[in-house]
Amino acid sequence: MRLTAEGLSLRFPQGDWLFEDLSFRLVPGRVYAVTGPSGSGKSTLLSLLAGWLHPTKGVIVREDVAVTSWVFQNPHGVARRTALDHVALPYLARGADHDHAWQSAFADLETVGLAGVSLRQFRHLSGGEAQRLMLARALATHPHLLLVDEPTAQLDQRTAVSVNEAIGSIASDGTIVVIATHDERTRDACTDEIALGAAR
C-alpha cells in the first residue's frame, strides 16, 4: 500500500498557483505533517489526497488505498452517547457482534489514551478528549488513509499536548496518516514533514 504524488500543482480559476510541483511518497507506519503558513494549501492538499479535488497538473497514484477517513478541526458527536458508543458504531455498522464491537472500540480508545473515560458521555468530554475520540473513531473504520485537519487549532496549549501525544500512537502498518497543522508541536509528533511555501 502506498500513495504517490508526482509534480502535483494546483491553481483555482483566475487565481495564482497555490502550490506547484510537489512530489512525495506516503507509506503506512508513518505519520506525515503537512505544514506551511495560512493560505499555503494545507487543507486543500488533504482534499487532493482524498480525491475530493483534482490537481491542475501532476498525478496522484493510489496503490491499494481504498478507504479514507477524515478528522476535522471541530469534534462532533451525540451529546448523551458515551465515548465507547461513538467508537463501537463503525464496528457495528460493519456487522460485528456487540462483544467484538465493544472490545475493539475499547482497544482503540486505549490507543489514544481514553480508556479511563470510555463510559463518559460526549457532552462531558474536554476539548482534548473529544478530539482524541475523533481519532479513535476514525481508527475504528480501519482506513487505508487517515487525514487529520488541524487537530489542535481549537485547543489551548495544555490541552493540545494530549492530542499531540495521541498522534504518535496512531501510526499503523495498515494506515497512512497525514496531518495538516500549523502547530510546531504537532509537527514534531509526526515522523515526516511535507512543507508548503507561502501563498502567492
Question: Could you give the domains of the chain?
Answer: 28-51+67-190 (3.40.50.300)
Each residue of 54-71: pLDDT tens digit? 999 999 999 999 999 999
Q: What is the per-residue pLDDT for 162?
A: 85
Q: Which helix (H) or strand (E) holds 127?
A: helix 127-140
CA distance 196 to 5: 14
pTM above 0.95, yes or no: no
**CA geometry: angle at 61 spanning 58 and 67, to 5°?**
130
Would you say 15 and 173 are in contact if contact means Cβ atoms under 8 Å apart? no
Segments in the chain below pLDDT 70? 198-200
Q: What is the per-residue pLDDT for 39?
A: 86
Q: What is the per-residue pLDDT for 200?
A: 40
Beta strand extents in the chain (DSSP E only): 2-11, 17-26, 31-35, 57-63, 68-71, 145-149, 176-180, 192-195
